[in-house]
């Protein structure tokens, strides 16, 4: 079930704002790897390779194998990315280390599939109450996203955590009654000009 990718990283010693600015000017991104079994490790990632990786995973939660000279391979997932929206550059990346034989908790994105009958036939409005859901699993079982088929969802119905697809090796950690997707009642359509007069004339 799990998808994975690799990323080359380099250990770094220099810290602070000045060092980070120098790295960014050299098209490098300061990063950190942390986990409950190891001390945080400061890293450097090539900006072009990092962007290439982001495009390849397309927002899905993916196991990332960090590789580099002078260090052991580490399994991780991308926890947070800081980006400057004005300069359009990456400022920092946080990686969470995981172990292949140990379950961990992570937020996984929700992906809506299909067109709800409540929207298509009943003038409803689809509302996504939560764009992610927390799961607990092994690295090999990590789903890139939770796909929710809303085809048969009627207006004023809600898909809750309890109604999400059951995946082998994956445990949902959010409350069973937590709303994920709802089809709300839409506003009644107002008659077009002339339609009301035509109805009265009948």
pLDDT per residue over 80-123, tens digit each?
999 988 888 899 999 999 999 999 999 999 999 999 999 999 99
**How many angstroms separate the CA atoms of 183 and 122, rounded?**
10
Last residue of a domain, one of 83, 98, 113: 98
170 within some domain? yes
- What pLDDT score does 123 carry? 93
Distances in Å between the Cα of 171 and the Cα atoms of 74, 101, 111, 161 are 24, 16, 18, 11
From the number of C-beta atoms within 10 Å of its C-beta (0-12, 13-18, 19+), residue 128 rates as middle
Assess whether pLDDT exceeds 60 at residue 131: yes
- What pLDDT score does 191 carry? 57
Do 168 and 134 share a structural domain? yes
- What pLDDT score does 189 carry? 59
Per-residue pLDDT tens over the stretch 16-56? 778 888 888 899 999 999 988 888 999 999 999 999 999 99
Instruction: Establish how many alpha carbons lie within 13 A of residue 194's alpha carbon, considering only the half-sphere containing its beta carbon.
Output: 0
Do 82 and 52 share a structural domain? yes
- What pLDDT score does 199 carry? 55
201 within some domain? no
**How many angstroms separate the CA atoms of 198 and 14, rounded?**
78
Q: 0.85 exceeded by the pTM?
A: no
User: Looking at the 3D structure of the chain, how many domains does it have?
Assistant: 2
Q: Residues 46-67: what's their mean pLDDT?
A: 93
The H-or-E segment that residue 197 falls in is helix 195-201
Least confident stretch, 140-144, 177-181, 187-191: 187-191
Assess whether pLDDT exceeds 80 at residue 4: yes
191 within some domain? no
- What pLDDT score does 142 carry? 95
Do 14 and 89 share a structural domain? yes
- The range of the structural domain enclosing residue 165 comes to 104-184
192 within some domain? no
193 within some domain? no
202 within some domain? no
Per-residue pLDDT tens over the stretch 146-186? 999 999 999 999 999 999 999 999 999 999 999 999 999 98
**How many angstroms separate the CA atoms of 22 and 148, rounded?**
44
Do 59 and 77 share a structural domain? yes
Do 117 and 79 share a structural domain? no
Can you give the CATH number for the domain in which 40 is found? 2.40.240.10
Residue 192: pLDDT band (50, 70, 90) is low
Do 91 and 8 share a structural domain? yes
Can you give the CATH number for the domain in which 157 is found? 2.170.120.20
Residues 6+ apart with CB under 8 A from 38: 97
33 within some domain? yes
Last residue of a domain, one of 98, 129, 151: 98
């Amino acid at each position: 079930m799990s998808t994975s990718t690799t990323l080359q990283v380099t250990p770094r010693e220099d810290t602070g704002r000045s060092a980070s600015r120098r790295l960014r000017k050299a098209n490098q991104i300061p990063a950190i790897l942390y986990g409950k079994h190891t001390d945080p490790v400061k890293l450097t990632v090539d900006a072009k390779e990092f962007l290439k990786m982001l495009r390849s995973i397309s927002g899905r939660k993916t196991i990332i194998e960090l590789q580099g000279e002078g260090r052991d391979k580490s399994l991780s997932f991308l926890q947070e990315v800081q980006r400057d929206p004005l300069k359009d550059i990456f400022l920092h990346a946080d990686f969470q280390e995981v172990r292949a034989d140990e379950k961990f908790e992570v937020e996984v994105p929700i992906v809506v599939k299909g067109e709800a009958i409540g929207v298509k036939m009943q003038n409803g409005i689809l509302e996504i109450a939560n764009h992610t859901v927390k799961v607990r699993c092994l690295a090999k079982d990590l789903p890139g996203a939770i796909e929710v088929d809303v085809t048969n969802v009627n207006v004023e119905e809600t898909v809750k955590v309890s109604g999400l697809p059951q995946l082998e090796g994956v445990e949902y950690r959010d409350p069973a009654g937590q709303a994920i997707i709802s089809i709300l009642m839409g506003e009644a359509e107002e008659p077009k000009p002339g339609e009301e007069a035509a109805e009265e004339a009948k």
